[in-house]
Structure 1
Amino acid sequence: MSERTLDLDEFSDLIERPHGGLRRDAEERRSRTGLPAHALGRLDDLGEWLTAAQGQLPVAPVRTPRLVVFAGDHGIAESDVSTLPAGSAHTLVREALDGTSPAAVLANRFDVPLRVVDMSLDCDEDTFPEEISRHRVRRSSGRLDVEDTLSPEEAERAFRAGMAVADEEADAGTDLVVLGDLSVGGTTAAGTLIAALCGTDASVVTGRGGGDIDDLAWMRKCAAVRDGLRRARPVLGDQLQLLAAVGGADLTAITGFLLQCAVRRTPVILDGVVSAACALVAQRVAFRAPDWWVAGHVSGEPAQAKALDRMALEALVDQGVAVGGGAGALLALPLVQAAAQLGAELPVREEEEPRAAENGALDAT
């Protein structure tokens, strides 16, 4: 085994919180629009969050968002824990690239470019163009219930690949990432990670997945999470070992991606239970990192609810979307864009006027 060269402790020093002073300035600026204090609801909070993330006031409109989707297969799918056959995630990727998946349709509607990153699809390396497969670590991840999903070397490569993708997006000028994932068996890995980090039993976190599995499949999924938990708990103190044990290449890459996005001050909209699990692992690495993310939607997975609660993140929309691929996060994108547009373009009054409003001279209608 080669010596590990990746020190996750460095992220705690590299990641800073979004500019708190500017967030307060944005709140004060909003008070000078003449609108009642809560007239815009959560859009005010979103606009202030973006102001702090961008480090500028007034906030700039979101102009170059990107949907980034990490893809991979999981060996645990061989245990029939999904409605899709094991090793079939490449068909989901093909639909996304052809523009026929729900997320691809929405991305086209919202004029958001789609990027797919193959981390561990169970198909030949030349199935997709090199731009998609160049970060690939292996062909499918191992079975989390009986073996490590990745070797230590593979885990580090996957984590660094996620970091590299974050750097590439930041360097390309992406001002907001919509995060997605495409996998078969990925929600089982996500549930295992969340159960381990939250100290809960398998049945508490195990949901029906994107395909609404039947009761027998749900019981098999519970058993897989239970067995994965036995392997995860001894390595809870080392997040990279934890990801290698039960996360797989795609979830490991997403964790590295989220942390490096925070380093590069790139805000992210999280999607469903997979991105929530990776965000929870990333929070263990650097407690300030979640300040750079918003939860896009409620997927209906109990594990996602536990992870978001642990990170004190409240989802923006709840439409019961469970198809993955970033579809739910894309539904939240117009809200974030609207908040930025309002923060950028609402006119503000002179300094004297808000004081009058505070004294009751301006009545809310």
Structure 2
Amino acid sequence: MLEQLQQKIDLKTKPLGALGQLEQLAFKIGASQNTLTPELKNPHLIVFAGDHGIAQEAVSAYPPEVTYQMVFNFLNDGAAINVFCKQNNINLKIVDAGVNGNFEAHDNLLHRKIAKGTKNFLKHKAMSEDELKACFDYSQQMIDEIAKSDCNIIGFGEMGIGNTSSASMIINALTDIPLENCVGRGTGLDEQAVLKKIEILQNAKNFHAEIKDPQQVLQTFGGYEVAQMTGAMLSAFENKMLLMIDGFIASAAFLVAYKMNPDILNNAIFCHRSQEAGHRLLLEYFGEKALLDLDLRLGEGTGCALAYPLILASVNFLNDMASFESAGVSNK
């Protein structure tokens, strides 16, 4: 089937390889769905929100209460992700995985709070084993429910002040990319603040024994939103969905999922390359190219929503574009 799929792509009315990454994407989607005529159904995007104990160390340019405030903004349709999902007819759900605050019931909000923020991983493991298990259990229930709506493509975003620090620690622990290369400006730190952030994270690394097991790394440095996102990615793969991976934090969550099940890479579409320097190195580690490079560093899943029309275009050209034979066009 893979040979037929490549032949179908090659025989469209265009020079060989002229649609570049769209051709590679069409092949990946056709291969993951095991068909010559793939389709995208009922796209969803989930934004996982949670607070981080490490934010107490001033590793972000924004105060921790912004996590709570931004979730309200999501629920009031005021954020970038709301705009882009609405534009592209993507179903948006917000998950309270561990925000330091309470929310009333809302149609687009899933209450999956583990606690009101993780512990400070400079002094403790971020979460307990039981809390990590609860994150994965919630994720499986969530994705199984979405799968009932015939969804076969899902994007992952996040909101959590301090979560670039969490992502940096996870990437360093699981790839051996030097910590200073994993750490960036996050929400907009200046150069001096970045150096301070590296120092704090190095101290956190020294505090914990070296860990290589992906779940233990997630337990030690992850946020509840990162852990639930990791579980959701694994469950989405089990449900044979395509996975739209956003930027730096979502890719760190994906790294944990990849370490637990390397086959998940076959269904992953990396939607954009973040301005965070560590994201470029992580994409190289996966041997993957991102669809977009727009200097984004917002999170929220915005890269997924922006990339979705291109993902749809790759499927549409494969299904609808004429071949040389059907169009009566001479091939070389």
TM-score, length-scaled by structure 1: 0.85
Conserved 8 A contact 2:43-2:153: yes
Matches of 1:50 and 1:44 in 2, distance apart?
Answer: 10
Residue 241 (structure 2) aligns with:
266
Matches of 1:299 and 1:197 in 2, distance apart?
Answer: 19
In structure 2, the CA distance between the partners of 1:141 and 1:127, relative to structure 1 (3 Å rule), is: farther
Conserved 8 A contact 1:43-1:339: yes
Q: Secondary structure of the residue that 1:88 maps to in structure 2?
A: helix
Conserved 8 A contact 1:69-1:181: yes
Residue 223 (structure 1) aligns with:
199
Question: What is the count of residue pairs matched by the alignment?
Answer: 331
Conserved 8 A contact 1:80-1:86: no
**Structure 1 regions of 5+ residues with no counterpart?**
1-20
**1:122 aligns to 2:91 (yes or no):** no
Conserved 8 A contact 2:75-2:109: no
Matches of 1:128 and 1:222 in 2, distance apart?
Answer: 39
Give, in angstroms, the shift of residue 350 of structure 1. 4.9
Give, in angstroms, the shift of residue 119 of structure 1. 0.6
Matches of 2:156 and 2:302 in 1, distance apart?
Answer: 9
Matches of 1:232 and 1:348 in 2, distance apart?
Answer: 58
Fraction of identical pairs, as percent = 24
**1:95 aligns to 2:70 (yes or no):** no
Conserved 8 A contact 1:159-1:253: yes
- Cα deviation digits, residues 192-233 of structure 1 (max 9, x gap): 100111213321111001x21123431332123213323555
**Which deviates the most, 126-135 or 299-308?**
126-135
**1:205 aligns to 2:182 (yes or no):** yes
- Cα deviation digits, residues 35-57 of structure 1 (max 9, x gap): 21112111111111111222222
Matches of 1:132 and 1:141 in 2, distance apart?
Answer: 20
In structure 2, the CA distance between the partners of 1:128 and 1:81, relative to structure 1 (3 Å rule), is: farther
Matches of 2:256 and 2:331 in 1, distance apart?
Answer: 47
| Matches for 1:69-218 after TM superposition, within 5 Å | 69-124=47-102, 126-129=103-106, 132-209=109-186, 211-218=187-194
Matches of 1:69 and 1:121 in 2, distance apart?
Answer: 12
**Structure 2 regions of 5+ residues with no counterpart?**
none
In structure 2, the CA distance between the partners of 1:228 and 1:159, relative to structure 1 (3 Å rule), is: farther
Conserved 8 A contact 1:269-1:295: yes
**1:41 aligns to 2:20 (yes or no):** yes
Residue 224 (structure 2) aligns with:
249
Residue 295 (structure 2) aligns with:
320
Conserved 8 A contact 1:46-1:336: yes
Residue 46 (structure 2) aligns with:
68
